[in-house]
Structure 1
Amino acid sequence: MLYFARWKITLIVLVILAGIVVLIPSAFTREQVANWPSFLPKKQMVLGLDLRGGAHLLLQVQRSSLIRDRLQTLTDDVRQKLRDEHIGYQNLSSRGQAVQFTLRDPADAEKVMTALKPLAAPIQSGMLSGGTLSEVSLSQNNGQISANLTDDGIDHRVRSAVDQSLGVLGRRINALGTVEPSIQREGSDRIMIEVPGLQDTARLKEVLGQTAKMTFHLECADGSLQQALQSRPPAGCEIAQPAEANEQPVLINSHVELSGDDLVDAQPTFDSQSNQPIVSFRFNSRGASIFGRLTQENVGKRFAVILDNKVITAPVIRGAIVGGSGQIEGNFTVESAQNLAVLLRAGALPANFDVVEERTVGPSLGQDSIRAGQIAGIIGLVAVAIFMVALYGILGVFADIALLVNVILIMGILVLLQATLTLPGIAGIVLTMGMAVDANVLIYERMREEQKLGRSAISAIEAGFSRAFATIIDAHITALIAAFALFALGSGPIRGFAVTLAVGIFTTLFTAILVTRLIVSIWVRSRRPKVVPI
């Protein structure tokens, strides 16, 4: 058991050297590492918000805006159903959480309720119980029909909006070039965002605060803008306000001809003639087909691009645009064009959000945390080292060497994985130090027992490693199960702790079973001890 083939020794040494080499860039600044030759490793330790500083935002779904959008959709659905069934109605409007209208002929009430019944069909709630709920409830009284949004349905929409927004927000933040942002749900209607290293919270809020709901509308042909401003827009039309204060509103069809869902790419660029920043976009095959047909059939009309209910641009269609690509012109700066492209590429948020909490963690706090973690780690390492030497003598020194290798490998693996190191993660490393020597304690105590039974020193040492192996594996597997459970069910700091704990378990097995055994093997070969010095 104490014999090591040459290839095994080489492999163990290479692993240790690799851990040291991977850690070297973390000892230098980013500017210094950037100037290194390309063949040298450049990955550095990724520090979390509590260590590096950065931006912290807490977003909350605007329930009112979500209800308003849902009412608009419900109103359009009700209008379409009534038209399909050729049913006369009047005073179709929304109020509170309901869409109401009056039948011209009360005798059509039963026919209307049948036509609108699909709108009130139960949907899957998505909960663990697998239950269903109704988003809409229908009622009628003497020809007065009401379609009400239920509270359960609204709550379901809020939860769904949060779920959908997690991915969209993640893509937007990653597009800004940040590293390891933390995006987590808090409660049923909130999302917590932490971006280490980002101090420009204004730009972060600008990018995250927009829903980026992009739609394309044709200009309304049933009336003029002046008439709509003086009285009200014609049926099926609405006044879209401009994004810039010095621009005029546009009277557009309420019907959405195309949406941002059909976009596959958006990039900031410059106009070839004016050299002004613009945003070029490209549709998917479906969007390209619709875009080509619309531009072909509506030459001479204005085609408005609406972003978050504001007109970005409304150019006149000069001719058919095939190929599915176009450009958005406006009073863009280079940064605003880039931000808009980021929003469009990431996708639209399903609801508006309010910033209910904003915090900027300065780097000084992070340095204090790092210093405190370093002190705790050094104290823990020294205390464990002294304890092992006092209890096991020269074998304790070997365990301390393995412990130092263990810490190096943990840090190296975290760098390779680009896992975020947080303050709880440092706590996980300190805890691993105590757990790491547990394996050596089991081995050494087994050696002591074998020696008391009359075995020779070499036989006792071999028995210590071989017979403690199963116990070590069992103990670390149970700890690994706990780490996986913390990572799967936890979030934020808990995950940071779980990652370092899990990595520490694997490195502990490597150092206790291979590194310590290799050191002891070299010592036995050189000293040929008659007794185990315990």
Structure 2
Amino acid sequence: MINKFPAWKNLLVVAVLAVGTALALPNIFGEDPAVQISGTERAELNQDARDRILRILEEEEGLSPHRHGMEEGQFVVRFASGEEQDRAQLRLRAELGRDFQVAVYQAPAMPDWMRNLGFQTMNLGLDLRGGVHFLLQVDMDAVVEQAVERFDGNIRTLLRDDRIRYTGIEREERGLTISLRDADQREATIRRISREFPELNLSAGERPEVIVVRISDEEIEDAKRNALEQNRTTLRNRVDELGVAEPLVQRQNPDRIVVQLPGVQDTTRAKDILGATAQLEFRLVDEDNDPYRAQETGRVPVGSRLYQHRDGYPVLLRRDVIATGDQLTGAGTGFDQETGRPMVTVNLDSQGGRRMGETTRENLGRGMAVVYRERITETRIENGEEVRESREVEEVISVATIQGIFSNRFRITGLESEQARNLALLLRAGALAAPVDIIEERTVGASLGADNIQAGIMAISFGFLLVVLFMLVYYKVFGLVANFALFFNLVMVVGLLSALQATLTLPGIAGIVLTVGMAVDANVLIFERIREELKAGNTPQAAIHAGYEKAFSTIADANVTTLIAAIVLFSFGTGPIQGFAITLSLGIICSMFTAILGTRAVINLIYGGRPVKALAI
């Protein structure tokens, strides 16, 4: 027995170790404080724009970028310190305005040739990089309410168009109750509504003139799924408008969304933008009735709704909505040339523009109002505990007389400067399909993140060093080989994290520390088996062969069961648990390779192919 691997196995080991080392290599170059500039619909990031950006930085005393260039379609300017990075960000945002998006982030400092070949560094989690973590709860009850409200308006329009008279329509939790004026029309009305809205379940009520309308369970579930996905997309758009590099916006559970903003420390503006609903509605003013009388008596005319203007007086508006914020295609800020007041310029899509054009053509000289709806969450202390309450504020922000026919493009006035800027940002990003509440908020400072990284490196280093010393003393040459395998196990884990772009978190570092011990455990089993074979009188070559062959099943069983546990943790866990499971899984896979194939190849290289009288084990 000579214990030699075939050539292809040796080549496989060398190739895997070489690839793992190459993938991990970019991480040794560290990161540069950088500013990332992206083009928008209003301005293209061409050569002239890049030259302008560099001139702005040159004009600022003490700012000297040591490197700049296009990276993945964005202009990245690197600096020597975080202080220069902050100054550059403030100056560029002031000079470029809303023409370009400016974000700060830590840019990998790897050489250009590595970047051109597609190499990447590990993604660091929020607990290592620093930033803000939000957990948002989507109000699914509001989704159902909106669905009921939508069908209420559609059914009213249908009954009015078909000249079906009714005495009232009452909203319920998941449907409507329609009271007809003529009971003989009930069956025909049920058939008409069912044909127009097949997603509704209709039945006869207890009284002969009553129709009970229920939204189907399938429609409700679809509405909830769509609302969650639209909210996720909208929140991602809002984060992009905030100018945050490498954000994380992902679904968690059926009604929650996680938002992580690396590098953001001031949470006030982020919370305002993420949590605001910014829903707009354009309605005609009811000029035939007195809003003050309606407010005093509590009797609102049929077909109208009573609102409060932002300045404190009542306004009666028609129930029919001309257009909503969902139909906006763009929004920008500016100043009214006549009054000098801030304004928001709004662009509608073709459907909204057509409806707006028809309305303004038929209602010249009449008033049109803009209704702003916002969800506000307030926190108060009750019995020593935090209690969060949400309320929806509806107010009229603008009332103007229709003086001409317009459709796709018009202006909203009557806002303060900050209100106009935030409103335009929210409208560009899109409206939330349902209100969201921030139920969890965590802020990790940049210095704390650096401390976490340092602590993690120390934990891995001490764990690695202790294991290396033990293996070297206890197993001699075989221990040295195991240490060699352990080192490459760490390198391969880092390489896989970089290649897969998995996020490394503080619990993930704990997973790496655990795999350091588990990786050497396989070699301990093999080496102890070799010792037993030597004591039984087998030759060194036979002992090596038997040690690896007989220990394999035990090693495989132990690692596979641990891998299954890690997969379950990743599947059902969230956040930190998933970070731990990722590194644990990768560590197990790498340790199986290095401990069984890697060490065997080196042992064969040292002892294989020649007579051996004794083993240094």
Bucket of the pairwise TM-score, normalised by the shorter protein: 0.7 to 0.9
Q: Matches of 1:277 and 1:320 in 2, distance apart? A: 23
Aligned residue type for 1:48 = G
Corresponding residue for residue 403 of structure 1: 486
What residue in structure 2 maps to residue 205 of structure 1?
A: 271
* Unaligned segments of structure 1, at least 5 residues: 124-133
Whole-Å separation in 2 of the counterparts to 1:52 and 1:378? 20
Asked if the contact 1:262–1:287 (Cα under 8 Å) also holds between the matched residues in 2, the reply is yes
The structure that is strand-richer by fraction is 2
Identity fraction in percent: 37
Residue number in structure 1 paired with 2:436? 353
Q: Aligned letter for 1:431?
A: L
What's 1:75 paired with? 152
Q: Aligned pair 1:235/2:318, yes or no?
A: no
**3-state DSSP of counterpart to 2:163:** coil
CA distance in 2, matches of 1:298, 1:439: 82
Correspondent of 2:29 among 17, 24, 32:
24
CA RMSD, 1 decimal: 5.1
Do structure 1's residue 139 and structure 2's residue 144 form an aligned pair? Answer: no
Cα distance in 2, alignment partners of residues 191 and 2 from structure 1: 52
1:434 is aligned to 2:517: yes
Letter in 2 for 1:260: G
- Cα contact 1:266–1:345 (8 A) shared by 2: yes
Please state how far the C-alpha of 1:403 moved relative to its aligned partner.
1.7
Using the size of structure 1 for normalisation, the TM-score is 0.72
Residues 1:261 and 2:326 aligned together: yes
Displacement, 1:138?
Answer: 5.8
Distance change in 2, residues 1:12/1:248 (3 Å)? same
Shift of 1:438: 3.9
More displaced, 490-499 or 97-106? 97-106
Residues 464-495 of structure 1, C-alpha deviations (whole Å, 9 max, x = no match): 77897898778656655544443333322222
Give SS of 1:393's match.
Answer: helix
- 1:501 aligns with 584
Deviation (angstroms), 1:312: 5.0
AA at the equivalent of 1:499: I
Distance in 1, matches of 2:6 and 2:427, equals: 62
Q: Deviations over 1:18-46 (max 9, x none)?
A: 513324315x7676466969738797654
SS of 2:320's equivalent in the other structure is coil
In 1, the alpha carbon distance for the partners of 2:334 and 2:460 equals 53
Query: How far is 1:345 from its partner?
Result: 4.4
Does the aligned pair in 1 maintain the 2:307–2:317 contact within 8 Å? yes
Deviates more, 1:225-234 or 1:167-176: 225-234
Report matched runs for 1:375-390 at 5 Å. 375-390=458-473
> 2:278 is paired with a residue of what secondary structure?
coil
Preserved CA contact (<8 Å) 2:330 2:348: no
Structure 1 residues 89 and 12: alpha-carbon distance in aligned structure 2, compared to 1, 3 A threshold: closer
**CA distance change for structure 1 residues 336 and 45 in 2, over 3 Å: closer, same or farther?**
farther
| In structure 2, C-alpha distance between the alignment counterparts of 1:371 and 1:455, rounded to whole Å | 47
Q: Following TM superposition, by how much is the alpha carbon of 1:11 offset from its aligned partner in structure 2, in angstroms?
A: 7.4
Structure 1 residue 289 displacement after superposition: 5.0
Select which of 314, 322, 331 maps to 2:415: 331
Q: Distance in 2 between matches of 1:10 and 1:62?
A: 52
Match of 2:504 among 407, 421, 432: 421
- 2:199/2:215 contact within 8 Å kept: no
**Aligned-residue offset at 1:206:** 1.1
Provide the C-alpha distance between the structure 2 equivalents of 1:325 and 1:516, rounded to a whole number of angstroms.
71
Report the CA distance between 1:338 and its aligned residue: 5.6
Task: Please tell me whether the aligned partners of residues 2 and 521 of structure 1 are also in contact (alpha carbons under 8 angstroms).
Answer: no
In structure 1, the residue matched to 2:112 is 39
Change in CA separation of 1:233 and 1:40 when aligned onto 2, cut-off 3 Å: farther
Structure 2 gaps of 5+ residues are 35-78, 81-105, 374-393
Provide the rounded CA distance (Å) in 2 between the counterparts of 1:277 and 1:465: 77
Quote the offset at 1:255 in angstroms. Answer: 2.0
Paired residues for 1:253-402 under 5 Å:
253-263=318-328, 265-266=329-330, 268=332, 270=334, 282-284=347-349, 286-287=351-352, 290=355, 304-308=369-373, 309-313=394-398, 324=408, 328=412, 331=415, 333=417, 339-361=422-444, 370=453, 373-402=456-485
AA aligned opposite 2:510: A
Cross-structure match for 1:217: 283
Amino acid in structure 2 at the alignment position of 1:206: D
Instruction: Output the CA distance in 2 between the equivalents of 1:267 and 1:517.
Output: 65
Give distance in 1, aligned partners of 2:16 and 2:413. 60
Question: 1:118-152 CA distances to partner (integer Å, 9 max, x unpaired)?
Answer: 799777xxxxxxxxxx6x87624364666578999
**How many Å separate the matches in 2 of 1:481 and 1:218?**
62
Q: Please, which moves more after superposition, 229-238 or 492-501?
A: 229-238
Q: How many residues align?
A: 515
